[in-house]
Amino acid sequence: MTILSLLQESLHIVSINKPYFGKATTSEGSVTVSPEHAQQFDVDVWATYVKKLLEKANRTNKGKQKVHLVLGQRFFTFVRIDIPVETPSGGVPEYIRHHLFESTPGISPQDSYIYETVTNRGTVYANVYVLSLQTRAQVQTLLDLFDITVEKIYPEAPLLFSTFSHTLNKNKTEPVFFLEYGQYQSTGLMFDAQGLFDGQVRLLDSHAIIAELKKIVTSKPKPARLIVSGKLSTEIRQDSFTKEVGMWTNPLHRILQDSVVQKKAVSIQLQEHTLAYLREITLLHALDEKKELISFLPQTTKAYVPATPTVTPPIRTAPSVAPVVAPEVTPEPVTEPEEEPTKTPEQSVKLEPTPPVEPAVESEPTTPVSSTISSPTAPLPTSSPRWIIMAIVMLVTAGITLGIAYGVSNLSFSSFMPQLPFLAKPTPSPTPQPTATPTPTLAPIAREDISLSIENGVGTTGLAGTYQERLTDLGYEVTTTGNADNYDYTATVIKTGNRAIYELLKKDLAEFLSGTPQYETSTDTDSAVIILGSDSE
């Protein structure tokens, strides 16, 4: 399986080769597009970068190649639509289509689109990604130069959102700024609890990153949090960066600790490059788990979206977000598979037409970013007479067999069979009663032998430092303090692989906490991570 990504200013490829015998092998590569070439998507110029990428990953002499294609937000126009509460579930696809082509400037009926529906606090939204005919044709022309066939096309934004969406407070509407911190230029996207907030790709100068981020903080919409990814994100100090920028900062590599994405990276030997190949690793995990992802099918003008149960959306009307990138592409009916939907890039030359399919779209209330999307229902294949005859024969045979079995089961053989000793029912022997196992006693452990890491899970300034002093006075060794992956912790959490450490900390923290701390297991048996919740203030 091969994942190819064309992004704002870089190209990535990750290929997994699974032989019949032996271990799977991974090949990967990335190429950075120069800022002047990144400004415009020129097929001839980008072809030189694709060639370098394939050479770097040893994929130049592989013949015809099939890939799952990830496209950066630069290739899409994004529109968020509030579905009116009175709209029946069956009318959602038509409402979205009408809104796109009648009410949204820059989008043409020639454009293809896919969408996901998200329900939050009684309101249903449609996050719509539009791929223009021109852009799709350009992408297809570029890949045809290297004999690359696309299986499905995925927007990058939902993949990125899935890596940190669980840290967002679903009851709040503040935007979150996702920064990809690069060596020369950084890029950013704005999200909220429902997914991508708007389609604007923000370009920032990495050499003046603090000043650039301060502009973001004072702009509208004002983000409440900053999530930092990218090559340089591991070098920043979380606390100092938060103070300098004036916005709570969460490095993504900390959010990903012990996550399914991190585990997938380890399984394909990319644990040292998780952030560099974040989209590709996330997509590989989703495909392995057969998760539904919105996506486009190639070589067709029809959008393809996973099937979801029908739900009448309860919603308010709200202004939709203006699209950011709008080329021309043909939106077509939606197809309904059960896995990641995909859009389709089209060539500027002739493309093989695909028979239209009637969309049967449904929306389902979900937490933000679950791919709840509409999809068309394909016609059922007709059975041949030969199979019908075979089915009838099998049914008749089964009926005769069941009838014979039923008759035999009702015969009584006891009247003409002597009572034989070995046919007598055995006398049941008494069931032995299990003896209680004594509860093991936890081995004592000294406070000075325990190293602690304290994280602020509520955002109160200086809270982690306060508990560092308290626990140091009790004899513990506090090695690090910092901010947790989010500030929505209501109860304090103690993560450790040693139950005795938890019990000791629970006892020592009792006078400071208004509740009992939660226990979470980890692999560390001589240390613990304390995430302070609102019960610690």
Q: What is the pLDDT of residue 299?
A: 55
Which CATH number is associated with domain 447-536? 3.30.70
441 — pLDDT class (breaks 50, 70, 90): low
pLDDT of residue 70: 95
The pLDDT tens digits of the residues spanning 234-285 come to: 888 877 788 888 888 889 988 988 889 989 999 888 888 888 899 999 999 9
Mean pLDDT of 296-324: 44
Single pTM value for the model? 0.58
pLDDT for 433 equals 56
Task: List every span in the chain annotated with CATH 3.30.420.40.
Answer: 164-255
289 neighbors 343 (Cβ within 8 angstroms): no
Mean pLDDT computed over 395-408 = 71
pLDDT band at 454 (very low <50, low <70, confident <90, very high): very high
How many angstroms separate the CA atoms of 37 and 206, rounded? 18
| Predicted confidence (pLDDT) at residue 73 exceeds the cutoff of 60 | yes
What value does the mean pLDDT take over residues 465-480?
A: 88
Residue intervals of the chain classified under CATH 3.30.70 are 447-536
Query: Which residues face 6 on adjacent strands?
Result: 11, 71
User: How distant, in Å, are the alpha carbons of 247, 248, 321, 387, 528 from that of 223?
Assistant: 8, 9, 16, 61, 32
Least confident of 25-29, 78-82, 169-173, 443-447: 169-173
How many Å apart are CA 468 and CA 476, to the nearest integer? 9
Cα–Cα nearest to 324, from 76, 108, 156, 38: 76
Three-state DSSP at 481 gives strand
120 within 8 A of 98, measured Cβ to Cβ: no
Residue (of 200, 199, 201, 188) closest to 233 by Cα position: 188
- Say whether pLDDT at 340 is over 60: no
Q: In whole numbers, what is the pLDDT of the chain averaged over residues?
A: 77
Angle at 6 between CA 262 and CA 188, to 5 degrees: 70
Tell me the CATH number for domain 164-255: 3.30.420.40
